[in-house]
Amino acid sequence: MSKELTYLFEKYLTNSLSKKETALFRQLMKETDNEEIEKKLSLLWEKYEKPENRNNETFTSISQNLHHLLYPVKQSIRLSFISKIAATLLLLLLVGGLVNYHTKQQSYRSFAAFNYCIVTEKGERASVVLPDGTKVYLNSGTTLSYPATFGKTDRQVGLTGEAYFEVKKDENLPFVVNTKEINIKVLGTVFNVYAYPGSDWFEVSLIEGSVELSTTDGNQSVILKPYQKAHYSYHTSKFEITKTDLRLETAWKRGDLMFRSEPIENVFRQIDMFYGTTTRIEGTCPEKLFTGTFREGDINQVLKNLQIHFKFKYQKTGNDIFITINDEQSDNKKSEI
């Protein structure tokens, strides 16, 4: 890690990078070997004062998992710049009473108010291990945030987007996921959360354990059992509990695109999120629904397969897709592959 990169990294921690410095920081991080980053971070670690002994065992454990923190799961696309930096911060600033983030400009109080954010853009997926050992897999267009004091007095995270949680059990500190209108409380369990901004609904699918869902106003709460899904409509402000086999809800984690009786607009909306594209449609969308599954791969092959079932022409330029639909379609039956 060059002196210049070290300087920029320290400015990043105090949120004082200019736009020009941010662009340079981004480029230098891309050019720096991850092994070198890990090595130098341990030196940066020593620069921070400590009121008590550091937990070196925890630091070593997280350091050994650097590869998993800096890279998404096997099926994933490369982490965004923000995601990579956020994951790297886990090595430098261990939270929950492990280190006192103290510089001449910042006191412990400012450290306690610091929030970590891990972000995946459209077309990206990632995984991260939280300080308590909880594993979180992030789908495209997702933001996970948590305070620097995570694990000391509570375990609360904020979520927008979609994530799969494998929560480390701790009976003394329940794990809470805060979303737009719903809070999820667990002790130790595995579940999937769908909470994209702009969506008309919120969903939680439970794999194992149990979770309690409650509205932020405290007026409603439900408890889920394994293989149940809670669907909450923002329009009706009501929960609906159904059974699920979980294959559909967790398809993204396996690198799959799975559709069940979806209109073509929803199909392309999910394709855009999955591949990081932007689709524009000209013409009247057919009313027939689509059911099918695609493995992660070349998006052009996905589009060609869809052309078999929907009569349209497309042109792809970079990440922009232009769809022209033949308005003479009249088959309104569900299409399956």
Question: What ranges do the domains of the chain cover?
Answer: 255-336
Whether the predicted pLDDT of 113 surpasses 80: no
Instruction: Work out the mean pLDDT of the chain and round it to a whole number.
Output: 76
Whether the predicted pLDDT of 259 surpasses 70: yes
pLDDT of residue 211: 94
Whether the predicted pLDDT of 150 surpasses 70: yes
Instruction: Decide which of 162 and 295 is more confident.
Output: 162
Average pLDDT rounded to a whole number, residues 72-76: 38
Whether the predicted pLDDT of 231 surpasses 80: yes
- CATH class for domain 255-336? alpha beta
pLDDT of residue 322: 93
User: Which candidate, 300, 297, 223, places its Cα nearest to that of 257?
Assistant: 297
**Considering the chain, what percentage of its residues have pLDDT values greater than 90?**
30
